[in-house]
């Protein structure tokens, strides 16, 4: 009913044997059996598409790994520095403010010693999640190593806005974190630069 007399479809697969789609060839003019050359060329095209898909996926993964922390998934020190540099390079900051909040978990070594490194990793992930929920979408929460996080508030109207964010963070971190079957409370210290 749509005028196709013959049709050939070859799956596009990745090396992990995941189906990505199909490459199709149709002939509206005549019914004919697909020749070996037709199939060969179509499979070759599918192999090229599959290779390109996998290369792009690997490039994306490598890029993410270069700029994000593996444990928390947050931007790392390198991406944080890039975002700060880019923000100020755009210029036009007359009358506008930005703020950096440096946050460190108090007695983090004691948490690791008492509950183990798995619990310490769990605390880092939980703190990362709570910090991320405490800021706006355009702000950056970065994990810079050890027990330290940095929040970059790209644009605030007044210095007091940074204090409000700090209060929100303290409130978000106040409830205990349930890690490996245990409620663990963690307090943080914070410094603010506007």
Residues 6+ apart with CB under 8 A from 121: 71
The residues annotated as belonging to the active site are 147
d(CA 81, CA 86): 9
d(CA 185, CA 84): 31
d(CA 141, CA 100): 10
CB 126 within 8 A of CB 58: no
């Amino acid at each position: 009913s749509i005028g196709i007399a013959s049709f050939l479809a070859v799956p596009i697969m990745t090396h992990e044997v995941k189906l990505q789609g199909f490459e199709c060839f149709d002939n509206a003019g005549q019914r004919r059996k697909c020749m070996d050359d037709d199939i060969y060329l179509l499979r070759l095209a599918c192999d090229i598409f599959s290779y390109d898909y996998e290369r792009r996926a690997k490039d994306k993964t490598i890029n993410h790994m270069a700029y994000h922390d593996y444990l928390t998934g947050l931007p790392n020190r390198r991406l944080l520095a890039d975002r700060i540099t880019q923000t100020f390079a755009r210029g036009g900051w007359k009358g506008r403010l930005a703020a950096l909040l440096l946050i460190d978990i108090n007695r983090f070594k004691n948490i690791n010693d008492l509950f183990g490194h798995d619990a310490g990793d769990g605390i880092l992930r939980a703190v990362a999640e709570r910090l991320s929920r405490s800021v706006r979408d355009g702000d950056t929460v970065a994990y810079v190593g050890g027990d330290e996080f940095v929040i970059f508030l790209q644009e605030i109207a007044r210095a007091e806005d940074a204090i409000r964010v700090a209060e929100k963070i303290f409130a978000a971190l106040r409830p205990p974190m349930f890690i490996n079957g245990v409620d663990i409370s963690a307090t943080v210290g914070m410094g603010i630069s506007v």
